[in-house]
Structure 1
Amino acid sequence: MPDFPYINARVRAMRSRLLDPGRIEELLALPTLDGFIQALNATPYGHDLQEALARFPALQAVDAALARNFYRATTKILSFADGSPRALIEVVLMRWDLMNLLLILRGKHGGTSAEEVTANLIPAGSLNEAALRELAGQPDIPAVVGAFSGLEHVFAAPLAEGLSEYAETEDLFALELRLERFYAQHGLRVARGSGHNQQVVRSLLQDELDATNVKTAFKLQRADLSAEAKTRFFIPGGRIVGEEAFLLLADRQTVEQGMKWLRVQGFPVKTAGDDLTAFERDLDLAMTRAQSGLYLGDPLGIDIVIAYLSLKYNEVKNLRLLARSKQLGIPRDRVRREMVVV
């Protein structure tokens, strides 16, 4: 049964195919989307790009190629593993299933077109491109839930359970948190045990839970709810953010007290501010850097896999950003500020 020393040797070889900073700068400097596509064709993304260009117009082809390349990378890693290592890797990859499902639900809730939704999807877990396109093509959230029920995915049950409440209240946030809560519980259950790899995956899930709870608390500052009502949005299981800290952060009167608590505990957050989008982006950046930093962790553990996935995903997001900037003519300096450098 392949274990992580074998898996990591293969993943390190994949790591060597990531684009170096110099190549990213060259792509950033290109003035047109056509030039960007030509240059990207000379990278490890070239094969997927050629296939995508035969099916889609320029920008859509780039999106499809990057998504396909990332999905192939994740399935390749899974092919190296079985048993406990595979189960742990599947839990890590399930985060992308969740992210993609949330994007689809938000798109249906907001009336976004299937094409726009699909452009932002990056398959990685058990939901492949075909499954995601089918879900994105559904007319509304009940139809998404119906289509999802036929995929035999672990998220099917909590999604179906949350549909009746959504139908009554149209509260998408509550449906999203139901899925987040299920993923945390499922992942922590799979990763229970005292081994190093289980501990690393648990820490990853708990850090993501803390980040989710902090983001949720900041959103709740604008809600006219009692403290008791706000607690139903709290997801237990994190390492740092308990219910007390959550309520401090969820109230404008006590948020600074909550922020001080987070900083004392070593939580990667600087300041609150009024720009929630910027705050969440900074928090996501800190999480990305922490996960990428695991590449310097245990060379015989799942650390290497988690770090590679973070680095690869970040590269794909940056390349998507570059492609869009060429299409829209966004100034280079502004694009560089938006890129995530780890």
Structure 2
Amino acid sequence: MRTTAAAARSGRTGRPDFAYGNTRLRARRPDLLDAAAYEAMIDRDLDGLLGALSTTPYAADLDQAVTRYHGARRVHEAVRRHLGRTLEEMRSFYSGRARLLVDILLSRWDLQNTLVVIRAESVRTKPDDALAHVVPLGAFSDAVAREVARQHELSGAIQLLVRWQLPDPETAAALRSALAVYERVGDLAELEQRVTASWTARTSAELLRLGRDAAALLSHVQRDIDERNVTVALRLRTDDELDEGLASHFLPGGVIAAASLEAAVRGMENGAVAGALTRLRPEWERALKRWAASGDLVQLQYDLDVVRVEAATKHFAFGDPLGIGIPVAYTVAKETEARNIRLIAEGTARGLDRDRVRSRLLLPGSRR
């Protein structure tokens, strides 16, 4: 992700021009899969699912996948390629200050891909298997991801990323610092937390500096951070050996302060905790009430995901037609589409109950 200073040096000043790119994205909106398309996929076997996808915008990506892989991997590969390709195409629709904001939006995939290759290296995953979980986007082409995954140990993979300054100089610096800690304590989760916290702090701060033009993206990023922090806090409520450094478990940059998150961890009664969090995030009221009654964190995560997806995709209908909200809506819609197709493919391959698969699909506007 380029810094604000770098953007200023390149002349990216003034009101961002989203007109051309947003028009292109709106034209692609009808191609997004809807509930009826998913329903048709659920009722098919794996070959039928492949046939259904061949009539959608996934066809070109599917053609490449079916010649190289077998089983559900064919679907996963097509989805991986399609998501990377379509989001890079979206990026190409913009220039100047609008492009800067879209780059920040997509920089989360640089972070995600970084964490994927690090996890794969930590368990000595074969390069081709590691590649299956990388979306070819931004700094991580398949060639880059494969070379990182070919390193013989975790430290070698991180050192290569640092040497190449990938996915960007700031994250590379965070990786170098986190590796030094990891080599002392051997805690992969802490390494990931440090790298992710570096990204969330920098991203939220940069979006705040960019002001009104970045407001819709800032709201999206902050909701994502808050969602992650709250689910971590509520999970920590079941930990019988809480340490004093609770703040280190949370990511910076969200709306909900660390003190409120710590109070949620230590609160005695679920209903009171849910009420306190609802006052900070009113849109979570229904999800938090359900959690307070059941204590089901898996259901809570699903319910919060639904809220996040609905908030993002509403920009298509209600957001600024000339703002960053349209790329946010399109990106989240494509990510959600990829998630749903993967879920259906896994359910089909493993013979899972179709109603169970159906209940896990993320379908904005159809809350259960």
| TM-score normalised per structure 1 | 0.89
Q: Which moved more, 1:268-277 or 1:323-332?
A: 268-277
Between the aligned partners of 1:337 and 1:303, the Cα distance in structure 2 is: 28
Q: Post-superposition shift, 1:7?
A: 1.1
Match of 1:310 among 317, 326, 332: 332
SS at match of 1:341: coil
**1:337 aligns to 2:355 (yes or no):** no
Q: Letter of the aligned partner of 2:344 in structure 1? A: L
SS at match of 1:326: helix
CA deviation map 1:139-160 (0-9, x unaligned)? 4421321232244222211011
**Residue equivalent to 1:284:** 305
SS at match of 2:108: helix
**1:76 aligns to 2:76 (yes or no):** no
Q: Post-superposition shift, 1:73?
A: 0.9
Match of 1:20 among 10, 34, 37: 34
Q: Which moved more, 1:292-301 or 1:129-138?
A: 129-138
CA separation of 1:62/1:138 partners in 2, compared to 1, >3 Å: closer, same or farther? Answer: farther
**1:293 aligns to 2:308 (yes or no):** no
Between the aligned partners of 2:96 and 2:351, the Cα distance in structure 1 is: 48
Any gaps of 5 or more consecutive residues in structure 1?
none
Does the CA-based 8 Å contact 2:35-2:363 persist in structure 1?
no
SS at match of 2:230: helix
SS at match of 2:64: helix
Does the CA-based 8 Å contact 2:85-2:136 persist in structure 1?
no
CA separation of 1:145/1:267 partners in 2, compared to 1, >3 Å: closer, same or farther? Answer: farther
Q: Post-superposition shift, 1:16?
A: 2.1
Between the aligned partners of 1:139 and 1:254, the Cα distance in structure 2 is: 48
Does the CA-based 8 Å contact 2:201-2:252 persist in structure 1?
no
Q: Post-superposition shift, 1:194?
A: 6.2
Q: Which moved more, 1:278-287 or 1:298-307?
A: 278-287
Q: Letter of the aligned partner of 2:242 in structure 1? A: L
State the percentage of identical aligned residues: 31
**Residue equivalent to 2:251:** 235
SS at match of 1:225: coil
Does the CA-based 8 Å contact 2:231-2:301 persist in structure 1?
yes
Q: Letter of the aligned partner of 2:300 in structure 1? A: F
| TM-score normalised per structure 2 | 0.84
Q: Letter of the aligned partner of 2:175 in structure 1? A: L
Q: Letter of the aligned partner of 1:245 in structure 2? A: S
Match of 1:251 among 254, 266, 285: 266
CA separation of 1:306/1:46 partners in 2, compared to 1, >3 Å: closer, same or farther? Answer: same
**Residue equivalent to 2:206:** 190
CA deviation map 1:25-76 (0-9, x unaligned)? 211111x211211221121111111112222224222211111111111111
Between the aligned partners of 1:96 and 1:78, the Cα distance in structure 2 is: 13
**Residue equivalent to 2:118:** 105
Between the aligned partners of 1:284 and 1:131, the Cα distance in structure 2 is: 31
SS at match of 1:120: coil
CA separation of 1:267/1:247 partners in 2, compared to 1, >3 Å: closer, same or farther? Answer: farther
CA deviation map 1:204-251 (0-9, x unaligned)? 22222212221332343316234x411233333322x11221111222
**1:211 aligns to 2:240 (yes or no):** no
Does the CA-based 8 Å contact 2:117-2:149 persist in structure 1?
yes
Does the CA-based 8 Å contact 1:91-1:190 persist in structure 2?
no
Q: Post-superposition shift, 1:8?
A: 0.4
**Residue equivalent to 2:344:** 322
Between the aligned partners of 1:106 and 1:223, the Cα distance in structure 2 is: 27
Q: Letter of the aligned partner of 1:186 in structure 2? A: R
Does the CA-based 8 Å contact 1:245-1:258 persist in structure 2?
no
Any gaps of 5 or more consecutive residues in structure 2?
1-11
Matching of residues 133-282 of structure 1 within 5 Å: 133-152=146-165, 153-154=167-168, 155-193=171-209, 195-221=211-237, 222=239, 224-226=241-243, 228-239=244-255, 241-251=256-266, 253=268, 256-265=271-280, 266-268=282-284, 269-270=287-288, 271-272=291-292, 273-282=294-303
Q: Letter of the aligned partner of 1:118 in structure 2? A: L
Report how many residues are paired: 339
Q: Post-superposition shift, 1:112?
A: 5.2
